[in-house]
């Protein structure tokens, strides 16, 4: 099989997609179900139709792009990622997996290869947590990791429910219909930029993922007592923001105390009310992200945070409420898929490393319903979720070739 990944075509499509953004280049922003997200979806579906592929969508907007195999009754092999983008992000996160997946299918078709199993490209809805506060919305629903009741309980910052927003975007039907049974796919492989520096530092073009970290997201509400910044004396203050600041530092300490490089914790949101320079904060809301490749160690960090919250609340005379938005188990990738991707690399004299994914992806939830792994490519300085996120055309083409040949072997 002579495989020709058209790097120039792929690079142009990545650039064209980046322009579909709510903010000017080089930054990218595509919030799920926004005008720009819907524009990007329409653009992607046209590319897939032009490639002669069948396209369908489910009730939450997950998009399934199928190349029919010679034995369509068999479970398909799948690949894919996401194209939604957080505010002020870059143009490669997720998009390399979607457009690289499309290019892999086109390259296989153009080579004359015909798969036995169908190959399906999935564009997942809302891998980013920007609008509804939880990541991997589409793949969570597909895998049964999320209760379809979220349709009415999830609200965006404007107070609109998930049902209202998705229906306005043209995606209707019962969310329970999005769930796929275990074994629906024979395997899933996601191509992605590493979002870390290891491959670039080692000079290795491909990483094959053996495990995906366990993420948890928490909302922490701190309620104190407000008042005039001049009239409320220091000994009698119950400042919600200062309590929240101590809690954020306690979370950092919990992550550092494990002694493990894979323990990470981030307080990414801090909202202070009333937000006035001359008013003591009466309320503060934190949103925290806690991750580890070891689920029990991750849960230990959460327990440490809960202890710290109780201590701070008692000492400062504030009320602290913790809401666990999600607490997901880590995923172990399928050894057979890992070995297949490694064999492809060896056959093409492409160096590769086995590695873990400290970021989590839709693959974390696909692993609940089918054998799964990921293929990583280097990104410059390990930078991601920033406008200067970058992966070279050669790196993307190499990853796409490895993906294509891996899909071909799995589909045969």
Domain boundaries, the chain: 7-213+330-411, 214-327
Q: Of 12, 367, 379, 20, nearest to 209 (Cα)? A: 367
7-213+330-411 CATH pick, 3.40.50.1980, 2.40.50.100, 3.50.50.60, 3.40.630.10: 3.40.630.10
Q: Spell out the alpha helix ranges (H) of 282-349.
A: 295-316, 335-347
Whether the domain at 7-213+330-411 and the domain at 214-327 fall into the same CATH topology? no
For 363, residues 6+ apart whose C-beta sits below 8 A from its C-beta are: 188, 190, 209, 212, 331, 333, 357, 372, 373, 374
What are 177's two structure tokens?
């219909």
Q: Which residues of the chain have pLDDT under 50?
A: none
| Separation of alpha carbons 390 and 213, rounded Å | 23
| Separation of alpha carbons 372 and 209, rounded Å | 9
| Separation of alpha carbons 6 and 78, rounded Å | 21
pLDDT at position 213 is 94
pLDDT at position 385 is 96
| Separation of alpha carbons 266 and 246, rounded Å | 14
Q: What is the pTM of this model?
A: 0.93
Q: Of 114, 124, 116, nearest to 79 (Cα)? A: 124
Question: Is domain 214-327 classified as CATH 3.40.50.10790?
Answer: no
385, HSE (Cβ side, Cα atoms, 13 Å): 9
Write the burial class of residue 115 (CB in 10 Å: 0-12 exposed, 13-18 middle, 19+ buried). Answer: buried
What are 53's two structure tokens?
């592929």
pLDDT at position 1 is 76
pLDDT in tens, 181-234: 999 999 999 999 999 999 999 999 999 999 999 899 999 999 999 999 999 999
Write the burial class of residue 163 (CB in 10 Å: 0-12 exposed, 13-18 middle, 19+ buried). Answer: middle
pLDDT at position 330 is 94
Write the burial class of residue 127 (CB in 10 Å: 0-12 exposed, 13-18 middle, 19+ buried). Answer: buried
Write the burial class of residue 211 (CB in 10 Å: 0-12 exposed, 13-18 middle, 19+ buried). Answer: buried
pLDDT in tens, 350-382: 999 999 999 999 999 999 999 999 999 999 999
Q: Is the dihedral of CA 395, 396, 398, 399 positive or negative?
A: positive
């Amino acid at each position: 099989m002579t495989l020709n990944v058209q790097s120039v075509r792929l690079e142009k499509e990545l650039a064209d997609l980046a322009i579909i953004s709510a903010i000017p280049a080089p930054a990218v922003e595509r919030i799920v179900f926004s005008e720009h997200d819907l524009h990007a979806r329409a653009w992607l579906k046209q590319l897939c139709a032009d490639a002669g592929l069948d396209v369908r969508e489910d009730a939450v907007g997950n998009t399934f792009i199928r190349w029919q195999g010679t034995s369509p009754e068999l479970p398909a092999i799948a690949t894919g990622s996401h194209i939604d983008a957080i505010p002020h992000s870059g143009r490669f996160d997720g998009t390399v997996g979607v457009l690289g997946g499309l290019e892999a299918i086109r390259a296989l078709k153009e080579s004359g290869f015909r798969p036995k199993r169908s190959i399906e490209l999935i564009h997942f809805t809302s891998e980013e947590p920007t609008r509804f506060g939880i990541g991997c919305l589409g793949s969570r629903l597909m895998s049964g990791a999320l209760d379809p009741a979220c349709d009415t309980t999830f609200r965006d910052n404007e107070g609109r429910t998930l049902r209202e927003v998705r229906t306005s975007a043209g995606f209707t039907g019962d969310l329970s219909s999005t769930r796929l049974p275990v074994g629906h796919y024979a395997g899933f492989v996601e191509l992605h930029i590493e979002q870390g520096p290891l491959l670039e530092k080692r000079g290795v073009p491909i990483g094959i993922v053996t495990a995906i970290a366990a993420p948890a997201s928490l909302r922490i509400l701190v309620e104190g007592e407000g008042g005039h910044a001049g009239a409320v004396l220091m000994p009698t203050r119950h400042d919600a923001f200062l309590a929240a600041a101590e809690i954020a530092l306690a979370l950092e300490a919990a992550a550092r105390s494990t002694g493990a490089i894979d323990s990470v914790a981030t307080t990414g949101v801090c909202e202070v009310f009333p937000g006035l320079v001359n008013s003591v904060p009466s309320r503060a809301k934190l949103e925290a992200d806690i991750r580890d490749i070891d689920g029990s160690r991750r849960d230990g960090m959460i327990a440490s945070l809960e202890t710290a919250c109780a201590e701070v609340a008692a000492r400062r005379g504030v009320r602290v409420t913790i809401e666990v938005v999600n607490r997901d188990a880590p995923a172990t990738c399928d050894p057979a898929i890992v070995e297949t991707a490694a064999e492809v690399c060896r056959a093409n004299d492409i160096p590769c490393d086995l590695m873990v994914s400290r970021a989590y992806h839709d693959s974390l939830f696909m692993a609940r319903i089918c054998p799964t792994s990921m293929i990583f490519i280097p990104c410059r300085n390990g930078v991601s979720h920033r406008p200067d996120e970058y992966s070279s055309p050669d790196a993307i083409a190499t990853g796409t070739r490895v993906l294509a040949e891996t899909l071909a072997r799995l589909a045969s």
